Amino acid sequence: MARIKVWYRCPTCQKQHNKESDAIACRNNHPILAESWAVGKDGKAVRISDHCAPNGLGGINWALREADLSDNIKIRTRQLEEETDERNER
């Protein structure tokens, strides 16, 4: 199952930090921006857009689902078919 992870990115050098304390070292020259990402079970990360509806493209629910789907088209197709079958059974 995907989870939400917040990374802190420097807008000037684009370096990504796991902890805000690590990002503070970059703050001397420029501000730090917080970004929300959905991280899947295999480590795939999908950015959550701040200005999107939760169920819309780029929203939190979409990002959590997308993070759990494979990038391999054959595996992804199978996963989507399984999701459709589960919805039809309900």
Q: Please give the tally of structural domains in the chain.
A: 1
Which H helix or E strand runs over 33?
A: strand 33-39
Q: Reduce the DSSP state of residue 49 to 3 states and report it.
A: coil
pLDDT tens track for 11-25: 678 788 888 888 878
**Nearest-angstrom CA–CA distance, 66 and 63:** 5
pLDDT tens track for 45-80: 999 988 888 888 889 999 999 998 988 889 989 998
Over range 35-39, report the average pLDDT.
Answer: 91
- Domain residues for the domain of 27 are 3-89
CA distances (Å), 18 to each of 1, 5, 35, 49, 78, in order?
A: 20, 9, 11, 18, 33
Nearest to 35 by CA among 68, 73, 8: 8
